[in-house]
């Protein structure tokens, strides 16, 4: 066996199963004698129908097409079912793969559990990435999601430098409906990481919010639990002042971030920025928002940005009486047909160049292999695995 492997590329231990599968495929699929004994090489799928929601999945049910994004403990891959009918196998999904050791090391166990639960809870919203299933194995947690082919709004924003007000209004309106749903209809879910990097475009140019890694269900009218939470998380440029000051934060942080986002849509950069994060935080808690001369920003746009980015939460639009309904009535959104927005009656201002359903050309290219990572030892399994049992 060692000799067989030596002829091709060795598969390092600890490699992710999908990576190992990819390497094996690259090596011609010859080096796994036990597979050979079971079935002919390269014919390891059957034609039995395969429904991803019908049973508990394993990673072997999928083959990786390519990576769509990476992080310290997570990687999102475009995948296809490895078996099933031809129709089943032609489907594509986004598979988020989280490495248990990294989740534990970075103290993100709670966040990962919330992520799965909240994705499950919000799965039918038109502007939120669709949860399909979750599963796990010894080293990894997996969340299977619908594939959103248009890539990140971030990429388009940087490409176009900035959006005009009609474009910004379109995206902002879809986000308002997301926040209304999370905060009000779902009873107090704070998203906590709004930014262009986390907004994908679907084939028709509509927004899909992804990455619920920081989303948290807070108390609400019925639960009687505290409505505020204390863990600092988010993205430096988009953090609300109450998060920086550790005052306990609520769903109001998402309205602050929406103000920052509209500013960045219209100017191409956020209102508070610096190479040094501490300087960003100082500006956020001390400095008013200043608008550039160029490009010209309408008074309505300036006003809604200022009203969202108000330090006093008893004055912050979205958090004050009327909630999202009040936001929808702001002059910036004058003329918006909210029903048409919700039902996606119009295509978005940017139509991503998608050639076929599994086309990934709108995403950046990422390395397909992780750096070597720590082992998920039996001690860790003993101590932590029960936290992952919902997957």
Q: Which residues are annotated as a binding site for ATP?
A: 96
Dihedral of alpha carbons 293, 207, 274, 286, sign: positive
By beta-carbon proximity to other proteins, the closer residue of 340 and 365 is: 365
**Could you give phi then psi for residue 174, rounded to 5 degrees?**
-65, -35
CA distance 252 to 31: 55
Could you tell me which residues are beta bridge partners of residue 171? none
Least Å distance, CB 248 to other proteins, is 5
The least CB distance from residue 159 to other proteins, in Å, is 4
Q: Which is nearer to other proteins, 88 or 152 (CB)?
A: 152
Q: Give Cα separations from 92 to 71, 161, 279, 301, 375 (angstroms).
A: 21, 31, 43, 39, 30
Cα distances from 329 to residues 176, 184, 323, 326, in angstroms, run 11, 17, 10, 5
Question: How far does the chain reach from its first CA to its final CA, in angstroms?
Answer: 35
Residue 205 or 213 having the CB closest to other proteins = 213
Q: Distance between CA atoms of 138 and 351, rounded to whole angstroms? A: 40
Closest CA to 258 of 334, 192, 174, 194: 194
Instruction: Please state, in angstroms and rounded to a whole number, the distance separating the CA atoms of residues 174 and 26.
Output: 42
**Can you tell me the distance from the alpha carbon of 303 to that of 306, in angstroms, rounded to the nearest whole number?**
5
Nearer to other proteins, 32 or 67 (CB): 67
Alpha carbon distance 232, 251 (integer Å): 14
- Of 166, 189, 119, 385, residue with least CA distance to 262: 166
Catalytic residue among 61, 139, 193, 254: 193
Burial 318-336 (b: 16+ CB within 10 A, else e): bbbeebbeebbebebbeeb
Instruction: Check if 146 is active-site.
Output: no
Q: Which helix (H) or strand (E) holds 118?
A: helix 109-121
Nearer to other proteins, 8 or 220 (CB): 220
Beta bridge partners of 207: 201
The CA distance from 79 to 376, in Å, is 24
Residues designated as active site = 193
């Amino acid at each position: 066996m060692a000799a067989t492997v030596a002829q091709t590329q060795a598969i390092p231990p600890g490699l992710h199963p999908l990576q190992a599968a990819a390497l094996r495929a690259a090596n011609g699929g010859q080096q796994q004698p036990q597979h050979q004994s079971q079935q002919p090489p390269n014919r390891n799928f059957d034609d039995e129908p395969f429904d991803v929601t019908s049973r508990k999945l394993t990673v072997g049910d999928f083959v990786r097409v390519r990576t769509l994004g990476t992080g310290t403990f997570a990687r999102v891959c475009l995948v296809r079912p490895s078996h099933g009918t031809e129709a089943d196998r032609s489907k594509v999904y986004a598979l988020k793969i989280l490495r248990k050791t990294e989740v534990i090391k970075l103290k993100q166990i709670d966040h990962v559990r919330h992520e799965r639960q909240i994705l499950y809870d919000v799965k039918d919203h038109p502007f939120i990435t669709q949860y399909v299933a979750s599963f796990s194995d010894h080293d990894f947690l997996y969340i299977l999601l619908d594939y959103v082919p248009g890539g990140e709004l971030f990429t388009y924003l940087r490409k176009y430098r900035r959006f005009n007000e009609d474009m910004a209004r379109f995206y902002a309106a879809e986000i308002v409906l997301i926040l209304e749903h999370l905060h009000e209809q779902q009873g107090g879910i704070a998203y906590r990481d709004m930014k262009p990097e986390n907004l994908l475009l679907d084939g028709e140019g509509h927004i899909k919010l992804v990455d619920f890694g920081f989303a948290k269900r807070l108390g609400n009218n019925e639960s009687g639990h505290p409505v505020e939470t204390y863990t600092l998380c988010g993205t430096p440029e988009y953090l609300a002042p109450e998060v920086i000051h550790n005052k306990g934060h609520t769903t109001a942080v998402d309205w602050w971030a929406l103000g920052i986002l509209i500013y960045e849509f219209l100017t191409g950069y956020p209102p508070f920025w610096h190479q040094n994060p501490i300087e960003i935080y100082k500006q956020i808690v001390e400095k008013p928002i200043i608008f550039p001369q160029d490009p010209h920003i309408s008074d309505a746009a300036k006003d809604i940005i200022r009203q969202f980015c108000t330090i006093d939460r008893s004055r912050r639009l979205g958090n004050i009486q009327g909630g999202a309904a009040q936001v929808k009535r702001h002059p910036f959104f004058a003329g918006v047909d909210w029903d048409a927005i919700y039902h996606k009656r119009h295509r978005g201002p940017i139509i991503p160049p998608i050639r076929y359903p599994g086309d990934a050309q709108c995403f950046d290219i990422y390395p397909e292999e992780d750096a070597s990572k720590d082992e998920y030892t039996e001690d860790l399994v003993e101590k932590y695995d029960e936290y992952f049992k919902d997957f």
